[in-house]
Each structure stands twice: as C-alpha cells, then as structure tokens.
Amino acid sequence: MSELRPAALAAALVAHLRGALDAPALELAEPPAPLSGGFDTEIVALRLRGGPPAFARPLVLRVLRPHHAPAMVLREQTIQNSVADQGYPAPRVLLASADPGPLGAPFLLMERVPGVPLLAAGWLGLDRVLVDLQLRLHALDAAPLRRALGDEATFDGYLDSLARRIDRAALAGLAPLLGWLRERRPPDDTLAVCHGDFHPQNVLVEHGAATGVLDWPNALVADPVFDVASTLGILRFVPVGLVSTSRPLRWLARVGQPLLAARYLAGYRRRRVIPTERLDYYQVAAGLRQLVRAGE
C-alpha cells in the first residue's frame, strides 16, 4: 500500500460517515496508519472524533480487494458480530458496506483489537493457546450464525463454492477430487462455528492473554473436525507470516512448525475425540481449497 493510500481511504471514509451518521463534525483524531494486509483486504488503523461514542475508539478499516464479491463484507459483519455477541473475542463490526461508491470498494469498519500476533509473541505455549481458543469457539451456539447465513454457511455450501471456483478457473483436474468429497461426506453428527483459517497470525495476544481472533471470511457452520484439519494443514505446510518476523524467529518457526502441528493436534485430542478417518477426510477438503486458490 502506498503512503498516500491510507490517507485517501480515511478521508473518503470520513466524508461518507458524516452523512451516514449525521455527524457533520466528525474528523480524524490522528493520522491513519497502514496495517499489514493480505490477499483479501487493505487495512488501515485510524481514530475518529466528533461522532457517536461507539466510533471514538481505536478502529480498523478493511477495504476489499477487487477479486472478491462485494457481499463478502456483509457476510464477515454477520459472522464477527454473531460470535462477539456470545462473548468470543472477535472484533465487532460497526459498519459494513457492499457499495463500492464511497471508498471505491466495499469495506468494513470495526473495533481495533490490541495486541500482537501470537507467532510474534513467542513460541512456548503457542499450541495451548490455539487449542483453548479453538475449543472455546467450537463450544459456541452455532444456530444463530446458521440462521443468519443460510445454506452458504454449511459444509455443503463450502463444497458448492469450491465447485463454482473450479468451473470459473477452468480447473477441471480438481473436479474428481471434489466428487470424491461429495461421495464420502461423513454425517453431521456435531456442528460448530468453524473459523476456517485459524492459525497463529490470526490470533492477537497482549500481556499473556488472547485479545482477539481476526480474519473471518472463511467461517462456516460445520463439523469442528473440519476446522482442526484446516488449522493442521496451515501449521504443517504454510509459512505463517514468516516474512514479517525477525530472522531468528523465522528460523525457529521453520524448524518448529512440524512440532507445533503435532502438539496442537495432540492437545485438541486430549480434550475432544477426533476419529482418524474423519480427520483424514476433512484434511482433503481443506487441501482442496488451497489447491483451488493456487490455481485461480
């Protein structure tokens, strides 16, 4: 993101909010600052004044990149506020707009969670924090999110989405794997809110405690084993945020990733039974998403 981009986005946001909130005196309380973004969004940290009290706290603006459907921001708003309503540490979304007009792209404005990514905070005990937070998520009532999002929030909806992406990207070689997943789909004995991208860079900590879980676009209501399989694949094979960490930490992470994955899985299994054949199935399902994404 160029140095001018955060200022331009923040100025456009202020102009939009003055009308949307009926707050003509609303303005920036400090210069906006870019935050490390990702494949899906541009991210800007900012503070406002002169508006409603809820908007006076530290905030984060997430602007959707062009390759995503505008409705994605409304889906994230529903997901994050649904789990936050149950006391889970997800940033509450104050405003989401699928209209690209005000900022040039759909956006979300949400609470800014204090802390640093779990990976940057240190390696010892990382697996325990992941297990505790994920089990806490899987213990939430999934019914409100299921009602709010409908069939798209289910595992069948996940497979349907992959099918559309495979067709759109002409990835015909992946179609047999998708067919295999449909034929061997296990029954939904237990349903839970699944994050879908749960890893150390999406968990923030401060003063030894978890303060927030970020990046919810892949969340769905499914067998919690699917969430475990997704996390396991990331921990085993993806260099999570290593570019932005120090060289010693990058080396430690590279050496420690297989150990972390093993400790994470063992820790989860100590507290909840995971049938091996079900884990194997959902690892294939999670891996297919990564293959589709690589081919797009």
What CATH number does residue 11 fall under? 3.30.200.20
pLDDT tops 90 at residue 146? yes
Residues 64 and 160 in one domain: no
Residues 97 and 128 in one domain: no
Residues 27 and 50: beta-carbon distance below 8 Å: yes
The pLDDT tens digits for 234-285 are 999 876 554 445 555 555 566 678 888 999 999 999 999 999 999 999 999 9
pLDDT tops 50 at residue 161? yes
pLDDT score for 237? 84
Residues 155 and 252 in one domain: yes
Q: 114-118, 181-185, 249-253, 264-268: which range is least confident on average?
A: 249-253
Residues 226 and 188 in one domain: yes
- From 69, 87, 111, give the residue that closes a domain: 111
Residues 102 and 120 in one domain: no
What CATH number does residue 241 fall under? 3.90.1200.10
pLDDT score for 125? 86
Residues 72 and 14 in one domain: yes
DSSP codes, the chain = --THHHHHHHHHHHHHHHHHTT-TT-EESS--EEE---SSEEEEEE-EESS-GGGSS-EEEEEE-TTS-TTHHHHHHHHHHHHHHTT--PPPEEEEE--STTTSS-EEEEEPPPSEEHHHH-STTHHHHHHHHHHHHHTS--HHHHHHHGGGGBHHHHHHHHHHHHHHTT-GGGHHHHHHHHHTPPP-SS-EEE-SS-SGGGEEEETTEEEEE---TT-EEE-HHHHHHHHHHHHHH--TTGGGS-HHHHHHHHHHHHHHHHHHHHHHHHHS---HHHHHHHHHHHHHHHHHHHH-
pLDDT score for 242? 47
Residues 162 and 291 in one domain: yes
Residues 105 and 66: beta-carbon distance below 8 Å: yes
- From 89, 111, 133, give the residue that closes a domain: 111
pLDDT tops 70 at residue 39? no
**Residue 196 sits in which domain range?**
116-295
| Among 113, 78, 72, 106, residue whose Cα is nearest residue 93 | 78
The total number of structural domains in the chain stands at 2
Residues 171 and 39 in one domain: no
Residues 149 and 271 in one domain: yes
Residues 103 and 125 in one domain: no
- From 51, 81, 111, give the residue that closes a domain: 111
Residues 72 and 144 in one domain: no
Residues 91 and 195 in one domain: no
* CA 87 to each of CA 74, 141, 243: distance values in angstroms, whole numbers, following the listed order: 20, 11, 32
CB atoms closer than 10 angstroms to residue 66: 8
Contacts of 100 (CB under 8 A, 6+ apart): 70, 106
Return mean pLDDT, the chain.
92
